[in-house]
Amino acid sequence: MLRVTLTEIALFAAPFIVFALYLRFGRGVDSLLAGWTTLSFGVCALIAVALVAASLLFVEATGRGGTTGAYVPPTWKDGVMVPGHIE
């Protein structure tokens, strides 16, 4: 779950980082906040939300295994934890 959360945070931050790098190296803006307009911030936010939504849809579409059958919760057998599974 931590991997998924970190992936979503990275995907959300990516457009802002890319635009900041473009401002610094493409336009040569030295100030940290110079060049950030409301429009550019809004566009970055929309792209970020679209990336996160697309990744969540992708994970939902490809992440599931077989869900037919009965779920058996994790149990202890002979001192060993047997993970939950679907029978």
At residue 18 the predicted structure's pLDDT band, cuts being 50, 70 and 90, is very high
Every domain of the chain and the residues it spans: 2-86
* Pairwise CA distance, residues 54 & 18, whole Å: 19
In sequence order, the 6+-apart residues with CB closer than 8 A to the CB of 55 are 7, 8, 11
- Cβ(11)–Cβ(51) under 8 Å? yes
**Predicted model pTM:** 0.67
Q: What is the pLDDT of residue 65?
A: 61
Task: Give per-residue pLDDT as tens, 31-87.
Answer: 878 888 999 999 999 999 999 999 989 988 887 666 678 888 999 999 999 998 888
